[in-house]
Structure 1
Amino acid sequence: MKYRITVLPGDGIGPDVMAEGVKVLQAVGRKFGHSFKLEYELIGAVAIDKTESALPEETLAMCKRSDAVMLAAVGDPRYDDPKLPVHPEDGLLALRKGLGLFANLRPVRVFDELVNASTLKPEVLQGTDFVFVRELTGGVYFAKPKKEWVTSRGRKATDSMTYSEQEIERIIRVGFELARARKKRLVSVDKANVLKSSRLWRQVAVEVSRDYPDVALSHVLVDACAMQLIRTPAMFDVIVTENLFGDILSDEAAQLAGSMGMLPSASLSGIPVAGKRTFGLYEPIHGSAPTIAGKDIANPIATILSVAMMLRHSLALDSEAAAVEQAAESVLKHGYRTDDIMAPESTRVGTRQMGDLIAARI
């Protein structure tokens, strides 16, 4: 079978970790007899440097022609000045919107081998295995008015958190579908004691729950959820929430796994159903980390596990996805570690060697 994949290495360590993701994908092709046509394009700071746009039209068009998109990272300190007209992150937001990627899946699993990599006690972390479902194209990141202005009394700025019933319903359904295939527990996170948009969110969640009587729905305020992620992370199975809350909470949860270098993600344009293909973009949740770019020390596992998610959700290749996940776990069991997850008596490896080790076990 032949598949067409758009590859967006991006900025900083993006090309470093993407090379290892591609390496593992090619190993899957050899093992299972698939052909992956990889087409590379620009996004982020490298795109601004060459085209003055963080998301060139050619990039978006190529993504739309693909079966799936692999993205590494965007961001460059040269563009940190908020007064600049364009920023690398603009490309990522525009890509999500342009491809209709409304559902962001971020699995958080604490590998037994890394239970001591976090700053939390091992007994707190054991058994942690849940999925964040983050709404990705609405809320405060996209809603208008969004502006900054000067008054006679000083500067002001505003951002709006706006959600429609339809936007909420479709992301809640993603959460229910995933929960139905797992432990049948869904936590909906909001701030319904303060925010009007959260009150609508909760109302719609309750309405949708009637279609899923086999799934237990509970509601947790975002601040309480942040606390429970640290106190009792193993209590969660599937967590669904809006854009801003999901962004913050999933980064917090990355530390449960020991490093942001361990967490993959999928951004989907539809509701994932086992055995069916859903278009999506796949990326590690970490940033571009420009200070370590090209030094062969970045952890590529999040990118490699993102490849597994792509195989499962966009290409409907579940056995191949499982092979990648098992290969990554095998390498960890044998004691190989990059700098961010080093432990006593482990073997330190670089970005490229970690990719080699995982690819060899496919």
Structure 2
Amino acid sequence: MSQARKIVILPGDGIGPEIIAEGRRVLETVNQQYDLGLSLQTCLFGGAAYDASGSPLPEDTLSACREADAILLGAIGGPQYDTAPRDLRPERGLLGLRSELKLFSNLRPALLYPELADASSLKPELVAGLDLMIVRELTGGIYFGKPRGIEERNGERVGFNTLVYSESEIRRIAVSAFEIARQRGSRLCSVDKMNVLEVSELWREVVIEVGKDYPDVELTHMFVDNAAMQLVRAPKQFDVIVTSNMFGDILSDAAAMLTGSIGMLPSASLDEAGKGMYEPIHGSAPDIAGQGVANPLATILSVSMMLRYTLKETAAADAIDSAVAQVLAQGYRCKDIASGEANEQLINTTQMGDAIIAALQAGADS
């Protein structure tokens, strides 16, 4: 048995508790099957924590996350928190957790399963076989830069934010991206806006410098506006994309819709040692919370990423990925990925978890 490792689970808000319940069941299944020696602890976070304690990131939750080997997050937020003080909204808790844990490298894969090609908003021939990874810098840039605020100048309100990156911040995200590219197709596209922004000039210079240490990885560069266009014109030209916080936020959501549903996509946020927080990229979907119809596959695939990138349990990760592919091939669909074809079987959140676990158990028995 591996040395005991601690996993902190943050269900959060909206559909978070529902999808986390299925992710936890899958994690418990492979924990037993592969003798992983994982211990699981659930903590309050986001709006649920604000309701209970007045803070979206209570100190005991932060302490548990600091001590954990990895973190599994559901979703946070909801319209009921829009009137809360800005510093106490659920999203500020998420930004705070990323910052406190120095989770600077955000991995967002966009993988299209063959059975879901028709669910994409693009023509199937443009997206069939899509498999790209966006590496987004997560703790710097305009979301964290100072000064920031809203103030009165010359009789009118002015809002301002600061876009700033240090050389060291750029270097570490570049290293992370090159390492990921080396594990995949050895092609890395760095996205910036260096024709307009001095920050992007430095970004490109540093990425090129880092690239000299990775001669086996093909490095290209693209302006962010062109990258957005290319993602919807010919997305399969990309293998790994590395970019800044705001650009990555936008491009990764665009890439998500290429796959047919944002409910299918996991993500990882890593520190320099490889410790990570794993979460689906979709939101808390308060409009369907409590109805049992949310798609848990992005959360289940986040469990797979956690096993692969932080815990280094490749066999267990492969088993989950294979189970998801098998269940989709069998025609099981949650509402968000259903196309109405005759061979599909519409199932709810819990039933999807049941199907994945059945596939895992069948794989273990074969």
Question: Considering the TM-score relative to the shorter chain, is it more than 0.5?
Answer: yes
Distance, in Å, in 2 between the alignment partners of 1:186 and 1:5 is 31
Aligned to 1:92: 94
Distance, in Å, in 2 between the alignment partners of 1:322 and 1:151 is 57
Distance, in Å, in 1 between the alignment partners of 2:25 and 2:38 is 11
2:317 to 316, 321, 333: 321
Distance, in Å, in 2 between the alignment partners of 1:63 and 1:258 is 32
Distance, in Å, in 1 between the alignment partners of 2:99 and 2:129 is 35
Q: Which aligned pairs between 1:327-338 and structure 2 lie closer than 5 A?
A: 327-338=323-334
Letter of the 2:185 counterpart: K
Which stretch of structure 1 is more off in the superposition, 48-57 or 162-171?
Answer: 48-57
Map Cα deviations across residues 60-103 of structure 1 (whole Å, 9 max, x no partner).
Answer: 10011111100011111011238655211001000000111000
Q: Decide whether the 8 Å contact of 2:109 with 2:267 is kept in 1.
A: yes
Map Cα deviations across residues 283-337 of structure 1 (whole Å, 9 max, x no partner).
Answer: 0000001111110110100000000011111111001000001001100000000
Distance, in Å, in 2 between the alignment partners of 1:171 and 1:300 is 29
Map Cα deviations across residues 158-189 of structure 1 (whole Å, 9 max, x no partner).
Answer: 01110000000000111111111211110000
Distance, in Å, in 2 between the alignment partners of 1:83 and 1:52 is 11
Structure 2: tracts of 5 or more residues without a match: 361-366
Distance, in Å, in 2 between the alignment partners of 1:257 and 1:84 is 33
Structure 2 residue 356 is matched with structure 1 residue 354 = no
Structure 2 residue 245 is matched with structure 1 residue 247 = no
Aligned to 1:339: 335
Distance, in Å, in 2 between the alignment partners of 1:304 and 1:244 is 26
RMSD: 1.1
Q: Which aligned pairs between 1:263-302 and structure 2 lie closer than 5 A?
A: 263-270=265-272, 278-302=274-298
Q: How many residues are paired up?
A: 356
Map Cα deviations across residues 7-47 of structure 1 (whole Å, 9 max, x no partner).
Answer: 00000000000000001001102211233211111111111
Distance, in Å, in 1 between the alignment partners of 2:153 and 2:169 is 34
Map Cα deviations across residues 176-215 of structure 1 (whole Å, 9 max, x no partner).
Answer: 1111121111000001111111110001011111111111
SS of the residue corresponding to residue 304 of structure 2 reads helix
Distance, in Å, in 1 between the alignment partners of 2:263 and 2:85 is 30
Aligned to 2:363: none
SS of the residue corresponding to residue 272 of structure 2 reads coil
Q: Decide whether the 8 Å contact of 2:263 with 2:295 is kept in 1.
A: yes
**TM-score after normalising by structure 2:** 0.95
Distance, in Å, in 2 between the alignment partners of 1:59 and 1:19 is 19
Letter of the 1:330 counterpart: Q
Structure 1: tracts of 5 or more residues without a match: 272-277
Map Cα deviations across residues 114-165 of structure 1 (whole Å, 9 max, x no partner).
Answer: 0001111000001210101000000011110011112343111101110000
Letter of the 1:302 counterpart: A
Aligned to 2:160: 158
Aligned to 1:187: 189
Letter of the 1:90 counterpart: R
Letter of the 1:351 counterpart: T
Distance, in Å, in 2 between the alignment partners of 1:83 and 1:294 is 26
Distance, in Å, in 1 between the alignment partners of 2:148 and 2:352 is 43
SS of the residue corresponding to residue 290 of structure 1 reads coil
Map Cα deviations across residues 227-276 of structure 1 (whole Å, 9 max, x no partner).
Answer: 111010111000000000000100111111111100000000026xxxxx
Percent of aligned pairs sharing the same letter: 52
**TM-score after normalising by structure 1:** 0.96
Which stretch of structure 1 is more off in the superposition, 72-81 or 134-143?
Answer: 72-81
Letter of the 1:241 counterpart: T
Distance, in Å, in 2 between the alignment partners of 1:139 and 1:211 is 25
- Return structure 1 stretches of 4+ with deviation > 6 angstroms: none
Letter of the 1:65 counterpart: E
Distance, in Å, in 1 between the alignment partners of 2:87 and 2:126 is 45
Distance, in Å, in 2 between the alignment partners of 1:78 and 1:295 is 18
Post-superposition offset of 1:3:
2.2
Distance, in Å, in 2 between the alignment partners of 1:217 and 1:84 is 40
1:34 to 33, 36, 40: 36
Aligned to 2:364: none
Distance, in Å, in 1 between the alignment partners of 2:71 and 2:54 is 22
Q: Decide whether the 8 Å contact of 2:86 with 2:92 is kept in 1.
A: no
Aligned to 1:306: 302
Aligned to 2:111: 109
Letter of the 2:243 counterpart: T
Aligned to 1:274: none
Aligned in 2, Cα 1:107/1:85: closer, same or farther, shift over 3 Å? closer
Q: Decide whether the 8 Å contact of 2:268 with 2:302 is kept in 1.
A: yes
